[in-house]
Amino acid sequence: MLPLAMLVLLACKSKKEQPKQAAGNQPVVVDVIIASTSSLSNTLEVNGTVVANEAVELRPEISGRLVQLNLPEGASVKQGTVLAKINDADIAATLEKTKVQLDLAEKTEARLKKLLAVSGINQSDYDVALNQVNSLKADMAVTQALLDKAVVRAPFSGVLGLRMVSPGAYVTSATVLATLQQTDQVKIDFTLPEMYASLIEKGRTVTVQTNENNTLRKARIIATEPQINATTRNLKVRAVLEGKAIHPGAFVKVRLETGGRSSSILVPTNAIIPDAKAKKVVVVRQGKGVFVDIETGLREAGAAEVVKGLAVGDSVVVTGVLFVRPKSPVKVRSVKKLSDFTQ
């Protein structure tokens, strides 16, 4: 016979197990939605960067000391405006010297030409004089080009950035004087996966969302890179933003409509059970929870498209999913709408 203490222990254990057994037989209370077809739009969202319509770093073409600096920070300047000038006294002196030499050479060439006409000299002597004239003219053109390089002009109309140098500084061709940007119209640069390359065409409109006030704006595609990046497999696209310009360099979100379906079955994402082999949902059939393998497609906020595994009219469990066991009894408390989970 068992000891008295052991009998008491077994009796207590059996009493504790009885409520668990009873609770296990109770149906799980769940909410469901009725699977139905609805239209689904597929919007691709990528990151973009605002780019000025024209932008350049202003640098001198030759080295020297700045004798003139006209860079009012943040001011608008017209194309051709003189912004800076390098000391060019030595170049100007060289040009004057060449002019004097050219004047003498031209007079010599004119005299020899008259002598050649009366056979006073041979042709080779005249050719030497003529060559001297042409050589000095070429030297003057080179010197004039150097003088032009000593002046920094605005290549286009735009807004100046911050000045990086002071008057009198010695600068080289690597020195940045300031930046000039054309901001009355801006561009949006963005990249997207190669699978969507066929959707991009010149003139198509995309939606742009800025961080300033989260308003949606339109941009028109003007060009794409002719080659897809071999490393990232992305295609670079450029669009022009319509309306008021925003600061170049700003971050924006670009949305592109890639097409949709008009007969898709959507279920809330929280009703999908991720599994190592497949995704599952729980469907109520004859008062029991049945686990069904599904395949998903496109997604939108709070919902996913089911392309395989569900049929129109199926009751899909949307609450209490974690408490349902395969083929265990369930009790439907209410029928929800998909909009309850996607708003």
Contacts of 7 (CB under 8 A, 6+ apart): none
User: For the segment 37-51, what is each residue's pLDDT rounded down to a tens digit?
Assistant: 877 767 788 899 999
Residues of the chain with CATH 2.40.420.20: 25-42+261-342
Q: Are 267 and 33 in contact (CB under 8 A)?
A: yes
Q: Domain 25-42+261-342 is of which CATH architecture?
A: Beta Barrel (2.40)
Residues of the chain with CATH 2.40.30.170: 45-53+182-259
CATH pick for 56-171 out of 2.40.50.100, 3.40.50.2300, 3.30.420.10, 1.20.210.10: 2.40.50.100
Residues of the chain with CATH 2.40.50.100: 56-171
Give the model's pLDDT for residue 234. 92
pLDDT exceeds cutoff 60 at 1: no
The domain 45-53+182-259: what is its CATH number?
Answer: 2.40.30.170
CA distances from 107 to 104, 115, 242 (A): 5, 13, 63
Q: Are 149 and 59 in contact (CB under 8 A)?
A: no
- Burial class from Cβ neighbours inside 10 Å (0-12, 13-18, 19+) for residue 245 reads middle
pLDDT exceeds cutoff 90 at 264: no
Torsion angles phi and psi, residue 269, rounded to 5: -65, -30
Closest by alpha carbon to 87, among 203, 156, 168?
A: 168
Closest by alpha carbon to 300, among 44, 27, 4, 62?
A: 44
Top pLDDT among 157 and 196 is at 157
Model-wide pTM > 0.75: no
Give the model's pLDDT for residue 282. 94
